[in-house]
Structure 1
Amino acid sequence: MPEPKVHELFEPVTGSWQYVVADPTSSSAVIIDPVLNYDAAKGVISTQSADELIKIVTDKGYKVEMILETHIHADHITAASYIQATLAKDQDYKPLVGIGGRIRNTQKMFGERYGIAASEYENVFDRMWEDDEAFSIGSLTVRAIHLPGHTPDHMGYKIGGNVFVGDSIFHVDIGSARADFPGGSAEAVYNSGRKLLALPDETKVWVGHDYPPDGRRAPVPFVTVKQHREENKHLKDGTHEAEFVETRRKRDATLAAPRLIHPSLQMNIRGGRLPAPTASGLRMVHLPLQVPDSPW
């Protein structure tokens, strides 16, 4: 099987890596974890980052067959629906949107939490992958790998000598993703990390985010399994599960909620589709209030 051509694009506001992955023999391609720009202070959604991905696709003459999500992101809004609609309109084909099959439970949980009708999030994903399910993009074979821990539904995608891991592990000097979201598990993050680091040494591990410490380096989209096994801050060889779990839980206890968690979850369970407009024409997301005990 030929190795894919990978185009990476960094979105600096949310620290997100996005990917266009193409079959060099057929020009079929997938987009992985695309991002919509969102100004929280103004409540304004824009599409600069997604349009850059579309420009790569157009300039290279790729046909995007699928848009793949690794999970329901809590720190940025997916551009999957926007890209799907734009390519369907401008290039006369409609890519499918795929995600792990366990997403149904996540949609139901957050739909109930935010008061979103099931009709707004059911059937928004065209493909829901089972664990270890394989599918084709041109002459490339993609294998969906269940990587729970950050979220219970989290999927990675192995394509040739590459694996796109979303938020399961990060660059070696950051280590691993938080495990304190609903359904998260530090033990599962550890086991998913060991699953990834059991892949061949030369496998490239492409991450969903990077947060360069104090700006001391540029964002890095991948390193090899060998580098992770030797250098990963949390998961390098010799790290025992109990040690990892203690470190991860202590770290998670210091973390604030992601700044964009509420709009992200509400949009992303819909696959990035906009909420239905109100009678006044506004599209709304809900913001829960934390209030003290009081008589009013």
Structure 2
Amino acid sequence: MALRRLRRDPLTILGAVVAGLLLAGSIIVPLVSRYSYAAQDLEETFRSPTRAHWLGTDHFGRDVLTRLAYGGRISFLISGTAVAAHTVIGVAAGCTAGFLGGRVDDALMRVTDVFLAFPPLLFLILITGLLGSSLPNIVIALALVGWAGMARQVRAEALALREREFVAAARALGATDRRILVRHILSNILTVALVRASLDVGPVILSEATLSFLGIGIQPPMPSWGVMISEGFAHLRTYPYLTVVPSALLSVAIVALTFVGEGIAEALDPRWRRK
């Protein structure tokens, strides 16, 4: 039924196709390109699109198309890993807090309050400043920013589920708390977690690009859409395509992933309605 709803939603299909093409391009283009993302040719700087360089070259003579593809690969890798990590942490914390209640719930929710009290961007800057701006550290920073919201939502579902009749029946039949938590609570929360995770991918890509644009995310010469926007910004008046192209790709990717996330939410959660 959920899959049928997804197939009938044109925006979800469009978003999935566009996101799939961007992901495929980010994987395939670096494999077939004859250029390295870091290879410089100072005699070929600021070249317009040609047969040799389909999207031209930048201020170091690097192939823009190759760097865009590598940047997309990094953005998808970071966002996918960070969302998976904060989903696992958030689901574990939320289920534990909601099911056990009492002091455990109070302690975990106070921790989430601390994380939610910081503005996300400020928190990201703080964490990357402390840990460094390597790729694993960026993933850790994004996961630490995202898990608290997931935990709050999962906890609310767990609180409602633990009062349901099937949980009381399982407990009356002698089921242990561990079995109830895994078999009855967690299995019914996975849909909520999947919906939340699907909606988080786009914002996480934007957060990574923002960090890279500010110079505290992915570091040159490694490409990222945020890095390319930042580097092209210095030449915006004379060579606007260096900023416009990665900005457009970033925007298209976020919109496409948002369409997919909202489609999944509408298909899996009957309470969700796309506005």
Which TM-score bucket, shorter chain as reference?
Answer: under 0.3
Which of these two proteins has the greater Rg computed from alpha carbons? 2
Normalized against structure 2, the TM-score is what?
Answer: 0.24
Normalized against structure 1, the TM-score is what?
Answer: 0.23
Q: Relative contact order (alpha carbons < 8 A, sep ≥ 6): 1 or 2 greater? A: 2
Which one has the bigger strand percentage?
A: 1
